[in-house]
Structure 1
Amino acid sequence: MPLKTPEQYVESLRDGRVTYWDGERIDDITTHPRFRMPIDSVKADYRYDDPKYGALRQYQTEDGSVAHRIFQIPRDEADLNTRVEMMNHTSIGTLVTGVYMALMSVKDAVEKVNPMYGANIERMYRYCRDNDLRAAEVITDPKGDRKRSAAQQDDPDLYLRIVERRKDGIVVRGAKLHITAASLVHELVVMPTKGMKAEETDYAVSFSIPVNAPGVKIINRSVAGPDLNPFDYPASSHHGMPEGFVVFDDVFVPWDRVFLAGEVELASKLAQSLGLWERTGGMVEAVRLSELFVGLAQLVNEMQGKDSDPVTQNSVAELIAYAEMLRMSLDYACRHYEKTPSGMVFPNTLAINAAKYYYAANYHQTVRYLHDLGGGLVLTLPLEADLRNEESGKYIRKYLYTKAGVNVETRMRVYNLIRDLTADAYGGWQFVVALQAGGGLPAQRVMMRRSYNMDQAKKRALSAAGADASE
């Protein structure tokens, strides 16, 4: 089938999906003001005739058709680099469709356990690719009492589970939290949140289901309200993608959409595959954001006449070091890629996890440098309406003046971006996302220990100590 137009994408959302926001059930999200900006954001990714990014959004499939590059399975380093470039110019509402990269990366292992599941993964991947659909990464369960396993909870539904097995499919019940763009995609791709024990077969489940499937309900929350002024909110006004609290109220899933149904040995493998691609996406955003921090810090210094001050220069140097460590880490992960038995290339597991850990562990400290340079004006700057007001505006222009060549309005825009990125709607969201997206710091620690060549490190340490490494 041909690629969708932006208008066809919008029309495809009028499918009876059950969506709530701020206490209201919204029957048609395409006409509701809360969804206007996020829909526009995803809609832009369907502009294949865009002279700037249209070509980057497309690739030719193995059968000669054209599809969105989010579906391209990387086969070499060049493919990975092109994918990273595409991710820099794509909305999160499309990027979450990368969940199919996670599934395709474990298809070989899944196929060995149950050939039907491998065939289902391939079929659903091609179905979404060939129909130009978008899919969400649906992984995190409520989890209840964290001291107890899924099967030990007071309420057995606190982890999504199979409640009935039929000849034609399974019935599932539960909820998944923090699901970015859930209301704006076409398919919900459900993965286990973690590894499962032998007695937890009903919780080892993975599948893909349409957003409008009977029993699916989505409760939304976003970083900010609708119709924000882009002058005052330069980040939040363009990046307010809703997060979904997705309920599966006895949802029927046909067998041809099931990727896992009780095979506990595969649960952790599926969960980890998504973590890798989520963290890769997080690193792409981290590189972009850290470069912005450097530019904003330098602009503040220059506008205040402090660009030669050694203290402010040191702060900028710290921001540069952070930005370059992230950029080099992502580059290293792509150049030292790994490969599945079927030839799919994916970023180096250890490198991506180490990079994500460094990014998250140092994010709050890094933002502190920017706040220290910006000062209180980051929070107390008047709004654009006060600048445009003839009476109040003259005072703002007078007292925000610093020196010749510094435009007051430009200075306000710089400070507004610092506030919005780090101390307001989008900034508050980002403070949590930097730590939690793709799993918190413990998740990266676990993956680093698993993927690091510990035997080699121990042998070298013993050799350096003068001991026999073979003992």
Structure 2
Amino acid sequence: MPARTGAQYLEKLKKDRREIYLDGERIEDITVHPQLKGGAESIAHLYDLQYLHPEVMLTENENGEKVGTAFMFPKSKDDLWKLHKATKLWSEASAGIMGRSPDYLNITFACYASRTDVWDKYGESEKGKNLENYFKYIRDNDLCLTHCIVNPQVDRSVPEAQQGEGDLALHKVGETEDSIIVSGARMLGTLAPFADEMTIYPSRAGQGIRPEDSKYALMFAVPMDHPGMMLLNRDSFSKQRDLFDYPLSSRFDEQDAIVIFDNCHIPKDRVFIDGNTELYRAVTAEVNWGAYIVFQAMTRALTKLEFLFGIGHMIADMNGVNAFDHIKEKLGEIWQYKELTRTAIVSAIEGAQDNGVNGVLIPDGRPLQALRGLMPKWIPRSIELIQLIGGGGFLCTPSKKDMQGHLRPFIDKYYQARNKSALEKIKVNRLAWDFIGSDLAGRGELYERFYLIDSFRVTMDTYTNADKEVEMALVKKFLDQMVLEEEAVANGK
């Protein structure tokens, strides 16, 4: 089956019978539910984009069928540029709001499947073969995946395996001839209502898994309607109002969910790690997952910064405040964040190296790791700057119904801008507010603060893991010169 269209995606979603709850109600049909319909249609649009830009968004599998570019094993810098452009097109469709668009997990599993030698290394060749087969299945059926890779927040002062007497974190509770049985909960299933499959895999060097924690060392995938799996969604931020009033919230709430496994049977051919704590702790680093996924994530972040700069300039220009130095400085700061992000992505591509195993190219992780620590600060800061630029104008913007009422002549007179009509100004302000101030915007800001773990830990890791030899050699060169001078002084010279 070649890459899907939006209609094919929605048709499959409509037939799905997942156990999913929102505001106390079990949702029967996601595609028509008023609080989920907009998100489903937005994902469908991403699939349609593949056929509008096939030269960028499609590639071929070994059978010559057209599949999504995000499933590609990049073997050249041209491949990495193509992957970047495909991710950029998808991220631009939502101004970077939908952080878990399908390419995120497509790239993740392409990364894993390109390095099944790691499974061989840890004596798990059979499960590595399971992974390879699963990757081909999702690639050739163009499936949309979500993941849950963090255990619930209960008591982070103790190992996760000890929380709630070891019964809360996802763990293995039994086994049959054909399946393993798991129970427990995971978070944060972003895109869960709209995905075809749920995936479980390690995060952050195995999340503190110890050798004795084998029943928690799990990696597997199941369809979203798999028996024994329940999804509890947070409040919907999807606005049930006209696109004019909420141009983003009406379409791009990708949702987040807690997934609960209750004696859930996972078929063994869909199990990729089962109790091997060594592999669980090592696999994320050894397959170079971080470089690939941050490459995707920072492409999306670049889109967000581009949008923030564009909307900031438009607001400042229509109100005439871009003539003021302090406003220019604010806009210049956002531009700097945007350009440093773009430059880091270019550096990651141009500095890519062969993985030394099968010719797959790994983006240079150093500039990406730097961005990973800075982006949780840069995006919230840019949002703050837009708030300062727009000020009170965000708080007195008419709605579509206001525009259709008898006050329209007064609105046209008193809401006009320096260089825009009242209608144009109101559209800009409503769009900006939905990006920086609505409840969806608040979720987005929090999401970016903790995307791929928080800035504190990432920044700490960048120092801990940095190769310091070049810099130390530079310092040592000057220290050696000082030694020569010290000897000269000691010898009276």
Question: Distance in 1 between the 2:381 and 2:105 partners?
Answer: 32
Query: Which whole-Å CA distance do the structure 2 matches of 1:59 and 1:138 have between them?
Result: 28
C-alpha offsets along residues 424-455 of structure 1, whole Å, 9 cap, x if unaligned? 12310121111111111134225423542123
Task: After superposition, give the CA deviation of every residue in 1:315-342 in whole Å (9 maximum; x if it has no partner).
Answer: 2211211111111112212221244322
| 1:47-446 alignment, distance < 5 Å | 47=48, 50=51, 52-90=52-90, 92-98=100-106, 99-104=108-113, 106-113=115-122, 114-193=124-203, 194-221=207-234, 224-271=237-284, 275-340=290-355, 341-389=357-405, 391-403=406-418, 405-446=419-460
Aligned partner of 2:57: which letter? R
1:363-412 CA-partner distances (Å, limit 9, x unpaired): 322222211111111233222221221x2222222112233x42221111
3-state SS of the aligned residue for 1:158? coil
In structure 2, what is the Cα distance between the partners aligned to 1:289 and 1:58?
A: 24
Alignment partners' CA distance in 2, 1:338 and 1:158: 41
- Cα-to-partner distance string for 1:169-202 (whole Å, 9 max, x where unaligned): 3111111112111122222110134241111111
Cα distance in 1, alignment partners of residues 179 and 472 from structure 2: 49
Q: Which runs of 5+ in 2 are unaligned?
A: 91-97, 484-493
TM-score with structure 1 setting the length:
0.92
Using a 3 Å threshold, how does the CA distance of structure 1 residues 445 and 302 change in structure 2: closer, same or farther? closer
Normalised TM-score (structure 2) = 0.88
Distance of aligned partners of 1:106 and 1:468 in 2 relative to their CA distance in 1, 3 Å threshold:
farther
Please tell me the residue identity of whatever aligns with 1:35.
Answer: L
Contact preservation (8 Å) 2:247, 2:434: yes
Counterpart CA distance in 2 for 1:211 and 1:380 is 43
Question: In structure 2, what is the Cα distance between the partners aligned to 1:140 and 1:4?
Answer: 30
Instruction: Report the Cα distance in structure 2 between the residues aligned to 1:325 and 1:6, rounded to whole angstroms.
Output: 34
Secondary structure at the counterpart of residue 381 of structure 1: coil
* Separation in 1, partners of 2:411, 2:210: 63
Change (3 A) 1:339 1:212: farther
Deviation at 1:260, TM superposition (A): 0.8
User: Residues 116 and 191 of structure 1: is their aligned pair in 2 closer, same or farther, counting only changes over 3 Å?
Assistant: same
Give the letter aligned to residue 34 of structure 2.
Answer: P
Letter in 2 for 1:130: D
CA drift at 1:214: 0.9
The answer on whether the counterparts of 1:216 and 1:247 sit within 8 Å (CA) in structure 2 is yes
| Farther-moved stretch of structure 1 (58-67 vs 332-341) | 332-341
Q: Match for 2:187: what amino acid?
A: L
CA 1:250–1:467 in structure 2 vs 1: closer, same or farther (change >3 Å)?
A: farther
Q: In terms of mean alpha carbon deviation, does 457-466 or 233-242 score higher?
A: 457-466
Task: Give 1:219's aligned amino acid.
Answer: L
Contact 1:96 1:180 in 2 (8 A): no
Moved more, 17-26 or 364-373: 364-373
Determine whether 1:11 maps to 2:11: yes
SS of the residue corresponding to residue 19 of structure 1 reads strand
> Which moved further from structure 2: 348-357 or 449-458?
449-458
Taking structure 1 as reference, are residues 135 and 232 closer, same or farther at Cα in structure 2, changes over 3 Å only?
same
Over 3 Å counting, the alpha-carbon distance change for 1:362 and 1:48 in structure 2 is: closer
Partners of 2:73 and 2:111 within 8 A in 1: no
Write the distance in 2 (CA, Å) between the matches of 1:176 and 1:247: 7
Higher mean C-alpha displacement, 70-79 vs 95-104: 95-104
Distance in structure 2 (CA, Å) of the matches to 1:348 and 1:186: 31
Deviations 1:77-110 (A, max 9, x none): 1111111211122264423433313423543212
C-alpha RMSD of the superposition: 2.3
CA distance in structure 1 between the aligned counterparts of 2:448 and 2:352, rounded to whole angstroms:
24
Change in 2 beyond 3 A, CA 1:303/1:182: same
**Distance in 2 between residues matched to 1:164 and 1:339, nearest whole Å:** 41
Query: Matched residue of 1:62: which SS?
Result: coil
With over 3 angstroms needed to count, the CA separation of the structure-2 counterparts of 1:246 and 1:459, relative to structure 1, is same
- 2:32 corresponds to which residue? 31
Aligned length: 466
Q: Structure 1's 355 and 105: CA in aligned 2 closer, same or farther, altered over 3 A?
A: farther
In structure 1, C-alpha distance between the alignment counterparts of 2:445 and 2:201, rounded to whole Å: 25
- Structure 1 residue 268, shift from structure 2 partner: 3.1
Once the two structures are TM-superposed, the CA of residue 223 in structure 1 deviates from its matched residue by 5.4
**Structure 2 CA distance for partners of 1:177 and 1:392, relative to 1, 3 Å:** same
Measure, in 2, the Cα distance between the counterparts of 1:31 and 1:257: 31
